[in-house]
């Protein structure tokens, strides 16, 4: 697989397709492009006649990372994304999609260079602003748990956590991060947040927001607030696994039409 050097990390990526507009697909915290595919979150699979850039964030999957906690903030991941786009698709307007951490990355990138994005698709937006504090405490506690008892204890803890109804059929997976690096990445995630609400209001890009219910780490209120703030956003909510199964088609429609569609807002 090709790689790209970005200051203190090497990013692992792949490009699927030989021609057509570029779609850049990100992933969530502790995940990778491979793990997201196993979880059914490879939403680009329904696209045709596009190139899809699937990028492992620093410290995740096949990418390397440093022991600097600040390098895992969403603003720094946005630096990596924009650097990668300058190297791989200089001057191109692209379609961006990312769940959770990928959503935070895209929002930071789009506040800096909104003209770079043809459309945005924000998948299961995470805690943000006021709700971020409690999530940050959880990440720091998990980092200590891993340092004290190892990643197996952390994975076991995850098996006792209720899953959202929309993920009822999802397979079990392990974090796609090296055990020694994971506490650093979790502490970096604890210290980051979305751009300000005022900055997000300036992102005048057609935006599809895909959310699900029953997930305190990805609360529906974040998705609802983004829909209210962003000038061209629409929200679709999945309440069952069947709702998530519709997401690749909704994403493909959003990309093909440049976001100019009318759809039922509740799947």
Question: By CB neighbour count within 10 A (0-12 exposed, 13-18 middle, 19+ buried), where does 163 fall?
Answer: middle
pLDDT greater than 60 at residue 264: no
The helix (H) or strand (E) run that includes residue 256 is helix 247-257
Max CA separation in the chain (angstroms) = 51
The answer to whether the CB of 68 falls within 8 A of the CB of 97 is no
Q: From CA 44, how far away is CA 50, in angstroms rounded?
A: 9
The answer to whether the CB of 151 falls within 8 A of the CB of 129 is no
Question: By CB neighbour count within 10 A (0-12 exposed, 13-18 middle, 19+ buried), where does 23 fall?
Answer: buried
Confidence (pTM): 0.94
The answer to whether the CB of 203 falls within 8 A of the CB of 107 is yes
Show Cβ contacts of residue 198 under 8 Å, excluding neighbours closer than 6 positions.
none
Question: By CB neighbour count within 10 A (0-12 exposed, 13-18 middle, 19+ buried), where does 214 fall?
Answer: middle
pLDDT greater than 50 at residue 201: yes
pLDDT greater than 90 at residue 53: yes
| High-pLDDT (> 90) share of the chain, % | 80
What 3-state class would DSSP assign to 228? helix
- Compute the mean pLDDT over every residue in the chain, rounded to the nearest whole number: 92
What's the pLDDT band for 141 if we cut at 50, 70, 90?
Answer: very high
pLDDT greater than 90 at residue 41: no
What's the pLDDT band for 1 if we cut at 50, 70, 90?
Answer: confident
pLDDT greater than 70 at residue 204: yes
Structure tokens at 161: 């956590």
How confident is the model at residue 236, as a pLDDT?
Answer: 98
Burial 179-189 (b: 16+ CB within 10 A, else e): eebbbbbbbbb
The answer to whether the CB of 209 falls within 8 A of the CB of 125 is yes
| Selection from 71, 70, 69, 59 nearest residue 32 by Cα | 59
What is the separation, in whole angstroms, between the first and last Cα of the chain? 36
Q: The domain 3-257: what is its CATH number? A: 3.40.50.1820
pLDDT greater than 50 at residue 265: no
Q: Quick one: average pLDDT of 36-54?
A: 88
């Amino acid at each position: 697989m090709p790689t790209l050097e970005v200051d203190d990390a090497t990013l692992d990526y792949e490009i699927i397709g030989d021609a057509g507009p570029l779609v850049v697909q990100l992933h969530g915290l502790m995940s990778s492009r491979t793990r997201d595919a196993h979880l059914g979150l490879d939403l680009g699979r329904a696209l045709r006649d596009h190139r899809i850039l699937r990028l492992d964030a620093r410290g995740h999957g096949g990418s390397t990372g440093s022991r600097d906690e600040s390098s895992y903030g969403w603003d720094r991941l946005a630096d990596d994304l924009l650097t990668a786009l300058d190297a791989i698709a200089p001057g191109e307007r692209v379609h961006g999609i990312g769940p959770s951490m990928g959503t935070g990355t895209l929002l930071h990138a789009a506040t800096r260079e909104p003209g770079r994005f043809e459309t945005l698709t924000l998948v299961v937006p995470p805690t943000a602003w006021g709700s971020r504090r409690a999530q940050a405490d959880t990440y720091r506690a998990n980092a200590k748990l891993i340092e004290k008892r190892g990643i197996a204890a952390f994975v076991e803890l995850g098996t006792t956590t209720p899953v959202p109804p929309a993920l009822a059929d999802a397979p079990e997976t392990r974090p796609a991060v090296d055990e020694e690096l994971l506490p650093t990445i979790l502490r970096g995630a604890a210290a980051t947040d979305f751009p300000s609400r005022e900055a997000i209001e300036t992102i005048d890009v057609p935006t599809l927001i895909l959310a699900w219910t029953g997930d305190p780490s990805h609360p529906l209120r974040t998705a609802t607030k983004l829909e209210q703030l962003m000038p061209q956003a629409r929200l679709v909510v999945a309440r069952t696994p069947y709702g998530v199964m519709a997401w690749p088609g909704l994403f493909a429609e959003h990309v093909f039409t440049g976001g100019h569609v009318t759809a039922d807002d509740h799947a």
